[in-house]
């Protein structure tokens, strides 16, 4: 059973995961509109992953006998400065999510809510991977700079990302 405070905090995170999904869906569409099909694929996979994160919170909240309260959500931006800018924004957003997961974990520890601590462990690990991927791509994009051939190469690489639920 969840405390009222814990249930509210988990529900807030559920909505934040849905916002994350919308943010990456918007990035996918923008990348597609500027001809970066590989990047569009990468952000579409990211969108699908965020929907899995959303569903994990949904299922956990329900499994504890609570129900979710959806939205309202902020609209994500619909235009972005560059591919590098998109990944920098992605990293900033993921760092915000990491802080948010850490705060949830601290709350669960404080409340001696062991089940929620175990549930959140998956997200703690996932955030390390998310930030690492973003940093790696930002590093490559900085190296490439304005080189069109380099950008094409990285777009091809981004096109190989596959959604694995
Ligand atoms: Fe759900 O991890 Fe990204 O936002």
- Binding site membership of 113 for ligand 1 (Cβ less than 6 Å): no
**Structure tokens, 103:** 């705060």
- 54-84 pLDDT tens trace: 999 999 999 999 999 999 999 999 999 999 9
Could you tell me if 28 and 44 are in contact, meaning their C-beta atoms sit under 8 angstroms apart? yes
**How far apart are the C-alpha atoms of 91 and 89, rounded to whole Å?**
5
**Dist CA 23 CA 28 (whole Å):** 9
Q: Is the CB of 46 under 6 A from ligand 1?
A: no
CA distance 18 to 99: 17
With a 6 Å cutoff on the Cβ, whether 56 touches ligand 1 is no
Structure confidence by residue, pLDDT tens digits, 105-156: 999 999 999 999 999 999 999 999 999 999 999 999 999 999 999 999 999 9
Rounded mean pLDDT, 5-21: 98
ipTM (interface pTM): 0.94
How far is ligand 1, taken at its centre, from the CA of residue 17, in Å? 6
Atom of ligand 1 nearest to the CA of 20: 4
């Amino acid at each position: 059973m969840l405390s009222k405070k814990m249930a509210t905090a988990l529900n807030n995170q559920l909505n934040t995961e849905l916002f994350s999904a919308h943010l990456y869906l918007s990035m996918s569409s923008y990348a597609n509109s500027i001809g970066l099909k590989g990047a569009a694929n990468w952000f579409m996979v990211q969108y699908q992953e965020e929907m899995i994160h959303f569903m994990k919170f949904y299922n956990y909240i329900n499994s504890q006998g609570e129900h979710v309260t959806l939205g309202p959500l902020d609209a994500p931006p619909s235009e972005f400065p560059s591919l590098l800018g998109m990944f920098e924004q992605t990293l900033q957003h993921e760092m915000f999510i990491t802080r948010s997961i850490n705060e949830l974990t601290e709350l669960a520890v404080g409340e001696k809510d062991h089940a929620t601590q175990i549930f959140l462990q998956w997200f703690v690990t996932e955030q390390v991977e998310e930030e690492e991927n973003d940093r790696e791509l930002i590093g490559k994009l900085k190296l490439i700079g304005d080189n069109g051939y380099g950008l094409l190469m990285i777009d091809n690489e981004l096109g190989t990302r596959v959604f694995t639920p």
